[in-house]
Amino acid sequence: MVLISRYPCVRCIARSTTNLALFGRRAPIFQTWTQIAKYSGLPLPSTPKNSQVSSVQDNGSSKKPAGEPGLAIKSLRKALGSASTTYSVYGAAEIIFKECARHAAYKMPKAGATEEMPTTENGEEIGVREVDAQWYQEFDLPVTFSTWSQVTMLHMYLLVVRIRNMSPHLVQLWQKNLQDQFFFAAEDGMVINHEMTSGSVRAKYLKDLYVQWRGLIAAYDEGLVRGDAVLAGAIWRNIFQANSEVDIRHLAQIVSYIRHTLQDLDGILAVPELVNFKFMNISAEKASIALPSKTMSEPFETDHKKQKV
């Protein structure tokens, strides 16, 4: 079974996999990923302490609160306060991550005992996209675990850029909780969608995802600094797996989407307000890239006097 099939891009790898330790077959996934974080220099994953979880459960029912979802979000925002308590940030990160993951959400069809699961040319299992998952149809992307992870990590990255404006200790707290949600969801997807029962196999894929996440941050950071062409290259390598037949308009559309989303995030005054943030419709960016550039109407001239011999 293949879950992740990517173009090997050295520039997108922030840290070498040789620095990652190998673990026993029965090592818990959460413990394994914790050790990976130690080797790679990332803040360790965190979950609420047992005492915090117990106190919350004792004060209320285990059932989901009734009423409109907006009321629950408002209650969470009030509880966040200074945005520094572990449990509050954990709950906010869960809401924020769901917003990131919905753009490429999918499920696997139920196959009979004698039926074979459809796969891509690389051997990745093909699923069925959810209704809100527009990226598959918009960019002709395969409905696979690999696509889900790359699109989700892109949206996580956009939020991380905004989170970086906080004080250093809060950046660490918010970023690692958001990352925790991704890896929890990734492992759940391996078990539920792809029936991956082997802990050692899941650990291998989680390590690969972790390296991809670190490389993705470096690649997109470079693109934001050096320009849209470099950013488009990073998108091409990560989301489109360096496919030579990709429609260049798709790259331009995602670049425009990233720039506009970062502008919207810049207008959010406090990070706790991210629980209310909704990403724009990716299809709306078609209008932006359809506009002709002003420089296209200018004559192309070369000033030979300024050229160095």
* 286-307: average pLDDT: 71
Closest CA to 43 of 148, 183, 162, 147: 183
38-73 pLDDT per residue, tens: 434 445 444 444 434 344 344 444 444 444 556 665
User: pLDDT-derived band of residue 209, with 50, 70 and 90 as boundaries?
Assistant: very high
* 8-24: average pLDDT: 37
pLDDT of residue 48: 42
Work out the burial of residue 154: count CB atoms within 10 Å of its CB; fewer than 13 is exposed, 13-18 middle, 19 or more buried.
buried
pLDDT of residue 30: 38
- Choose from 111-120, 158-167, 225-234, 261-270 the range with maximum mean pLDDT: 225-234
Greatest distance between any 2 Cα atoms in the chain:
79
pLDDT at 7 over 90: no
* 98-116: average pLDDT: 83
Q: What's the CA angle centered on 240, arms 223 and 103, to 5 degrees?
A: 90
**Using an 8 Å Cβ cutoff, are 66 and 75 in contact?**
no
pLDDT of residue 73: 58
pLDDT at 201 over 80: yes
Which residues share a beta bridge with 124? 2
Question: pTM (2 decimals)?
Answer: 0.71
In this structure, the number of other CB atoms found within 10 A of the CB of residue 99 comes to: 17
